[in-house]
Structure 1
């Protein structure tokens, strides 16, 4: 059974537990994290610009399946788990067909879940050879509706729709939340000793890091306000070694990072870097710069933390410890 939260080793859990984690992982990826085009599909990347961050569709199950399917013992790293060679495995096409299907399903979930309307996105073009060996130019706008390409995906049940994560412990029993409230009541006290982002970043993620992050809004918003602006946790200035499988989890107001799983509302999301072993000259040990954006509006509802001035953010390295540097973290409201 596939592990959509793959950390590099097979977990010692039952199939029922694995199924539960997979379903809540999918819910987080598709529903709560994917509330806007940017959080689901990623930031704009324009010619001459700096790459933005990928969305939840890429960062979570997509990357995990690549690495879970791959075999890093293969000579020259040629396997499904390496960016440059992944398409040599026939399962690549089934995997990416499913990613395309999930994109199609996502657009039926309502709210702001729709494709970008930016002309730079719609008019971006790619060159291919057709079945007659003639070069043709295809624009993004031409392939957003599969029915116009002559196919549709089978309408199947997606059980993850009803798999919203739940908090590991109630707010009344949560010592972390009581500490967060105490910190909000007296920002000058030392009740927790949790640092602020500016006190520890930038730093390598080679150990569990807990940091207190101030929210831009400390009062409960109504449904209209939430629909207009999404509260987003931004992990910025990420510098990743391109040829390393990197995965780290982000938790909010967690009790114990060793006990939190995708089943729990405290699990905010993950960052996954699928390795890219370039065999060209001058590219060895190259690094890429990116960022991670996690929509947390629904998560804060589930944790009953909408009125909190601060949240405790925990970064948990799961693979590639030390191969990623974090520049900073903040919470913003975005249109």
Structure 2
């Protein structure tokens, strides 16, 4: 078990074995003041900076401490950002560098108290609302536009909330580290809070506590068109920065590829594609909280540890499908900094939030929220309907009933849409009985990163032949891990994943049983997107993350449960030769 060899320097501790990593005494001096203020020391290992309590360091100096245990001891829930340190977004596009997303700040936050005197509100399907509702909703948005620009409840300030939290305008508490609420386990609870306060402000403006935001149920055929209430020029619900080709009656493509110009799905084939994607991303590929909601993200961590299946798709493609291709950055919906300027953002995310409630109702004992204290006690800041700055915690957002809202019941056709089992079993064994493997045409991914500009097909060894009976009883999931996924932040990068379908390409329908899931990136950065607050250097236009999807059910359907290996094919959805997606590894693990 590896132990820590420490060199003391006032309030800094340096991992002595790794002086070449750049996490050195000079770096520590630059943050010594912060360490003293927090009664902490700084541990640098492998370029990773960890904050430790001084008592933990004393223990480390007198005995061996496992690196893994040290990381666990150092973990802390994410604190709210310091609004006084808000700055222009780091990751806004080049032509939006003077953008100020910071809210007005004039008071210290108070702790939010769950509502006790509100009626239970039912969020309606946007396709089913009546004229009275549309008039009230439109009036509420108009009144929001008419508020003074420095009122935190005004429409511009409300849109800026998303910009600030999603484009690097905030730090993680007092650390010089970008706070990002996407691509992690914060994606769902943060957006639930965001919608809650937006909804309550609208209700306050029209004097109706029963008012609830609508949801755009793009997951069912009846809701796959952009809701008509958002499509009328002159209405406060209208946004001119949308894709004109995607106005009703066009149906949304939940696996949308903005570069594809031919073989575009329509009609029943598009509905089948959408239905299968929903099943894979919400049902079969996401049977654990980390698969569905995203990877852990704690105080001091770098952002973007990994999005859940829902955030990858359908969430991401709907954003890009709605934004205007005539705009330099797919504004409004197609870019993080501008997405909430379009009122339909809130209907889109209401349906994303609805997916969370549906997911927890599905079969499986592991479809529950995280119980990690670092998740539950993480906190954020919002302005409420009375323009008070309030501090909220993730724990209070887990049950919609606590916030006094629910969703209209509508058809959910994809829950039972398990693809038909493959009629032919592709045998992929350790001795290479599959013809292509035997001929040497399919090899392992290898140890070097590869650019995903054309489909990549690789042989992936399973850690073991099959799960134990205890693992089956515990619903341990076999997980396909695409590691070190590096994409340019400003590019709508996507790729599909197929199991035992070596010939898959960009025209392969995802309605096939071999389809495993989709990775997508919503643009939120450009070439010159600010500077790194750690070292003052230009911020990298790339983000590095991972993509994980459960494959236990797919392996069952393909007759590959007890195979030694599987064939994985990654298919880029677009031409990324100029800005290639980079993949570092492909493996299988157990969750």
TM-score normalised by structure 1 residue count? 0.90
CA distance in structure 1 between the aligned counterparts of 2:572 and 2:529, rounded to whole angstroms: 29
Alignment match, 2:590:
333
Tell me which of 137, 161, 171 is aligned to 2:391.
137
Tell me which of 232, 243, 246 is aligned to 2:479.
232
2:452 paired with 1:198: no
What are the residue-to-residue correspondences of 1:168-187 with 2, within 5 Å? 169-171=422-424, 177-178=426-427, 180-181=428-429, 183-184=431-432
> Cα distance, 1:227 vs. partner?
3.8
2:281 paired with 1:29: yes
> Cα distance, 1:181 vs. partner?
3.7
Does 1 or 2 have the higher relative contact order (CA < 8 Å, sep 6+)?
1
> Cα distance, 1:219 vs. partner?
3.4
What are the residue-to-residue correspondences of 1:207-218 with 2, within 5 Å? 207-218=454-465
What are the residue-to-residue correspondences of 1:92-171 with 2, within 5 Å? 92-111=345-364, 112-167=366-421, 169-171=422-424
> Cα distance, 1:191 vs. partner?
2.8
**Would you say the 8 A contact 2:478–2:551 is kept in 1?**
yes
What are the residue-to-residue correspondences of 1:258-269 with 2, within 5 Å? 258=505, 260-269=508-517
CA distance in structure 2 between the aligned counterparts of 1:142 and 1:272, rounded to whole angstroms: 29
Tell me which of 558, 567, 570 is aligned to 1:303.
558
2:489 paired with 1:274: no
Q: Deviations over 1:230-260 (max 9, x none)?
A: 1011011111110111001111101531363
Tell me which of 250, 264, 268 is aligned to 1:12.
264
> Cα distance, 1:156 vs. partner?
2.1
Distance 1:93 1:320, change over 3 A: farther
Structure 1 or 2: larger strand share? 1
Report the more deviating stretch, 74-83 or 49-58.
74-83
Alignment match, 1:287:
542
2:313 paired with 1:65: no
Q: Which one has a bigger Cα radius of gyration? A: 2
> Cα distance, 1:319 vs. partner?
2.3
CA distance in structure 2 between the aligned counterparts of 1:62 and 1:56, rounded to whole angstroms: 9
**Would you say the 8 A contact 1:72–1:79 is kept in 2?**
no
Distance 1:207 1:157, change over 3 A: same
CA distance in structure 2 between the aligned counterparts of 1:45 and 1:296, rounded to whole angstroms: 24
Alignment match, 1:315:
570
| SS of 1:243 mapped into structure 2 | coil
How large is the Cα RMSD of the aligned pairs?
A: 2.2
> Cα distance, 1:113 vs. partner?
0.4
> Cα distance, 1:88 vs. partner?
0.7
Aligned length: 325
CA distance in structure 2 between the aligned counterparts of 1:157 and 1:77, rounded to whole angstroms: 31
CA distance in structure 1 between the aligned counterparts of 2:471 and 2:552, rounded to whole angstroms: 12
CA distance in structure 2 between the aligned counterparts of 1:83 and 1:93, rounded to whole angstroms: 13
Report the more deviating stretch, 143-152 or 279-288.
279-288
CA distance in structure 2 between the aligned counterparts of 1:203 and 1:80, rounded to whole angstroms: 31
